[in-house]
Amino acid sequence: MPIIQSALSDASPELLVLEDGEFTKNIATLSMIYDRLATARIARDGLIIAVGGGVVGDLAGFAAATWQRGIDVLQIPTTLLAQVDSSVGGKTAVNHPAGKNLIGAFHQPIGVVADVHVLKTLPAREFSAGLAEVIKYGLIESDDFWEWLNVHMEKLVAQNEDYLIEAVERSCAIKARIVGKDEREQGVRATLNFGHTFGHAIETGTQYRTWLHGEAVALGMIMATRFSQHVGLMQANLAADLEKLCQRARLPIEIPRLGGASMLNWMGLDKKVLSSKIRLVLLKDKGQPIVTSEYSDERLVSFLKKHCDAG
């Protein structure tokens, strides 16, 4: 941050430091940002620079989208998860007690600056959480990224710079390609939410304080893959392969026992619900995601009861 402040010294930037954690991404924090923007008299030619992880990027992006009906935002992501996912594509939001990212807007940044050197400052758990989104791209795309990740996961965990740069580049290229086809998530972009409906329910059920977002996504991907097998959509035992890769990435694989009925309720608040039907991103195989609500409610209820009820 001092380097960025020094580079912008001629512009006399305002600095606002936010508390870390998903529970910070709420209306109260957003209101505080608005207060600072008002005090600083930031006009429509203003710029918000988001330096931090996904929480900071989402808050800054949504504040920029709504202040004066929209001002510029520059994303400088400092976590792996933010570099490969949340800083790219223009989705911004804050959480509501009823669910994650329920209040938001599409607002593209004027640029994204990703430097893998800053990732060395992350705790190991935070870094591994970002690998969940990298793994997601390997699952939903039909190129050889899944195989590449299986060969090189230990190098990524060790933060080998060359392999890390390649992982970030390939992840961003996959996301940019998908977003370029469907910026406002009316179709194919929804496949980027693979694992997120289950994962967001886990985050909501634990009030955003137990699991990092990437950890919840990893658990959600495992659940989505198991459910794909449960409904007969996918024949290959990809869930077992995914669990092994997540373990190598030092991600959790044990589904929390939050209660099947509660999980169903939290999933029902997801943004992808249409006509009271939960749309899920499922897999036919790696590289073959589909967005569907064509499954029986009974199958989902029985699946959640099996995997999420205590005992």
**Could you give the angle at which helices 196-205 and 213-230 cross, rounded to 10 degrees?**
130
β-bridge mates for residue 49, sequence order: 74
Residue 224 near residue 217 (C-beta atoms within 8 A): no
Task: Kindly report, residue by residue over 254-310, the tens digit of the pLDDT.
Answer: 999 999 999 999 998 876 676 678 999 999 999 999 999 999 999 999 999 999 998
Query: Which pTM was predicted?
Result: 0.91
Which active-site residues does the annotation give?
Answer: 69, 91, 133, 175, 185, 189, 193, 196, 200, 213
Q: CATH number, domain at 225?
A: 1.20.1090.10
Query: Residues 77, 143: one domain?
Result: no
Q: What is the mean pLDDT of residues 152-170?
A: 97
**Measured over all CA atoms, what is the biggest interatomic distance in the chain, rounded to whole angstroms?**
62
- CB 279 within 8 Å of CB 293: yes
For residue 8, pLDDT over 70 is answered with no
pLDDT tens sequence across 209-247: 999 999 999 999 999 999 999 999 997 789 999 999 999
Closest listed residue to residue 36, CA positions, set 53, 15, 52: 15
pLDDT tens digit sequence for 29-80: 999 999 999 999 999 999 999 999 999 999 999 999 999 999 999 999 999 9
Contact 55, 18 (CB under 8 A): yes
Which pLDDT belongs to residue 3?
63
Tell me which residue range forms the domain holding 31: 2-118
Residues 162 and 300 in one domain: yes
Looking at 64, 94, 118, the residue that finishes a domain is 118
* pLDDT score recorded for residue 283: 96
Torsion, Cα 194 223 249 86, to 10 degrees, reads 30
Q: How many Cβ atoms from other residues are within 10 Å of residue 50's Cβ?
A: 28
pLDDT at 143: 75
| Whether 136 and 212 share a structural domain | yes
Is the model's pLDDT at 1 over the cut of 60? Answer: no
2, pLDDT greater than 70: no
State residue 146's pLDDT score: 96
- Cβ atoms of 175 and 89 closer than 8 Å: yes
Q: Report the mean per-residue pLDDT for the chain.
A: 93
Q: Which two tokens mark 99?
A: 């669910």
Q: What total number of domains does the chain contain?
A: 2
Q: Are residues 6 and 152 in the same domain?
A: no
pLDDT at position 136, please?
98
Same-domain pairing of 299 and 277: yes
Count other C-beta atoms under 10 Å from residue 209's C-beta: 9
What count of Cα atoms within 13 Å lies in the side-chain half-sphere of residue 236? 9
